[in-house]
Chain A
Amino acid sequence: MSRVLSPIAALGALTLSALAALGRLAIFTGQTFAHMIRPPFYIKEFGAALMNVGYFSLPVIGLTTLFTGGALALQIYAGGARFSAEAVVPQIVAIGIVRELGPVMVGLMIAARVTSSIAAEIATMKVTEQLDALVTLSTHPMKYLTVPRVLAGIIVVPMLVAVGNIIGIMGGWAVAVGTLDFNSATYLQNTADFLETSDIISSLAKGAVNGGIATLMGCYYGMNSGRGAMGVGRATKGSVEAAAVLILAANFVLTGIFFSS
């Protein structure tokens, strides 16, 4: 290959392998949803996944959204003061948290906390032949491992987003009332008046998509892990990277769909 053409060839190869990866991912996603609607269903595993993805994520989600809301209030106050628009703090905090930051922060925290643990667990199971053992015990690994986790992610992450939104708004409220001399009742009234149903629906929809992406990536990278400890490390790293990028990309697309018209 000539020296001039080789960068182009490299680019082509990269594009092809990216497309192939996307195709494998799409097939995996399709298989997951196909298994979701066909028995057997593993209720106990689903319950455990709900606890792990949802309940145990509450502390980290509460803390991250609390600080995000607080920082947002400070920034809007300082920025608004430049053109005497300090009063919009409650409205902008509400919109910023509910429409964007709530779902994104929750999605990224789930990627950090849940995607990584799912990927590491399933990859270790693969490396130690536990996935093979499942098959020999007439249990489909997709049904037993992937479906409960992905379903839990889709169902429970919107709830986490709802909780995160409330705590984020309360973070803004605490800062505004505590240090910026806002009236508490007026602040809450302004927030409630300003938010529309579509804001909340879009927020929860983003939550469901993010929950699906985060859990799917964990399962996909785990099941396709290479051999040995290095394989597990690679799978974990790859799963979190892919989940974070896809969550942000999906968020952008969904924002376009919901709010561009």
Chain B
Amino acid sequence: MIRFENVHKAFGSNRVLRGVNLHIPKGESMVIIGGSGTGKSVALKSVLGLVKPDSGTIFVDGKDASEGDHDAFLARFGMLFQGGALFDSLPVWQNVAFRLLRGSLKRPTEEARAIAVEKLRRVGLKEEVADRYPAELSGGMQKRVGLARAIAAEPEIIFFDEPTTGLDPIMSGVINELIREIVVEMGATAMTITHDMSSVRAIADKVAMLHDGVIQWTGPVAKMDDSGDPYVAQFISGSAEGPIEAVR
């Protein structure tokens, strides 16, 4: 469904992606792991056209993602940003229901609000949060509102950029289960970035490791522990010794 073909992206002299090749089949949950600053967020953003690759192509359903009707294309996606990226001028429920309050998916206000409250509940937030403003929430709560917004319009393809960072272990468990449910029940295709290895095991069908601008290793999550790849092994064990330098 999503295919990266030799994608390159540099910011000035900082060559971030140096030929990424990756395939995510429809209805699968792909988890991307990799050190901080290796370009995982950039890879996700380049699918959505928020970052323009310098060369290489990203195909979605066999079509070049940078061509064609961008609005219709984006309507199929939901994205949780690493920093939440909530609109701080709008109350929480209007953030979650943003798509449902305007544009082609517009519906009556009460209905949109009811959906927002239901999505908030799914990410473990009570109804009274709905009328607060994002700035009044804790970091973890903001993250979960961002997650609720990403899934509000039930998109077919969902990107989660570090969904459990900053959450307590119980809430992480709730979110992992939610992501799994979305993939299994709704048949969505998911691409998740995470540093949390328990999250990887809970969410992933397949895992890909990004390092030095390329996909070092990719395979089913079951094969991750005996991948035979020194980078993956070091990443899983969290050891300072290995091919990945600690100073990057």
Contacts and interface: CB of A to CB of B under 8 A. Distances in A.
Nearest to A43: B102
A137 B77 CA distance: 8
B85 interface: yes
Contacts of B88: 128, 130
Nearest to B51: A132
Interface in B76-112: 77-79, 81-83, 85-89, 98-99, 102-104
A179 B150 CA distance: 66
Contacts of B78: 136
Contact of A136 (B50, B82, B87): B50
A42 interface: yes
A121 B89 CA distance: 10
A205 B79 CA distance: 44
A133 interface: yes
B50 A130 contact: no
Given A138-B71, A138-B74, A138-B75, A132 B102 contact: no
A135 B48 contact: yes
A138 B85 contact: no
B85 A128 contact: yes
A136 B104 CA distance: 14
A161 to B, nearest CB: 28
A121 B87 CA distance: 11
Contact of B79 (A42, A121, A136, A139): A136
A133 B48 contact: no
A254 B82 CA distance: 48
Contact of B83 (A121, A128, A136): A128
A135 B98 CA distance: 12
Q: What size tier do the contact residues of chain A reach?
A: 10 to 19
A24 B45 CA distance: 25
- Find the residue from A42, A133, A136 having the highest chain B CB count within 10 A: A136
A40 B81 contact: no
Interface residues of B, number: 24
Interface string A133-163: 1111111000000000000000000000000
Contacts of B149: 137
Contacts of A139: 98, 102-103
Contacts of A42: 102
A132 B149 CA distance: 14
Given A133-B79, A136-B79, A138-B75, A40 B85 contact: no
A138 B103 contact: yes
A18 B48 CA distance: 33
Contacts of A129: 81-83, 85
Interface string B100-132: 001110000000000000000000000000000
A128 B149 CA distance: 16
Contact of A135 (B74, B86, B99, B102): B74
A114 to B, nearest CB: 16
A130 B218 CA distance: 32
Interface string B30-48: 0000000000000001001
B48 A137 contact: no
A125 B103 CA distance: 21
18 contacts: A40-B102, A121-B89, A128-B83, A129-B81, A129-B85, A130-B88, A132-B50, A132-B81, A133-B85, A136-B74, A136-B79, A137-B98, A137-B99, A138-B71, A138-B75, A138-B103, A138-B104, A139-B102
Interface of A: 40, 42, 121, 125, 128-130, 132-139
Interface of B: 45, 48-50, 71, 74-75, 77-79, 81-83, 85-89, 98-99, 102-104, 149
Given A130-B87, A136-B79, A137-B149, 17 more contacts: A40-B103, A121-B89, A125-B87, A128-B85, A129-B81, A132-B50, A132-B81, A132-B85, A133-B79, A133-B86, A135-B48, A136-B74, A136-B77, A137-B98, A138-B75, A138-B104, A139-B98
Task: Please provide the 4 A-B residue pairs with the shortest distance between their CB atoms, ordered closest to farther.
Answer: A133-B85, A129-B85, A136-B79, A132-B50
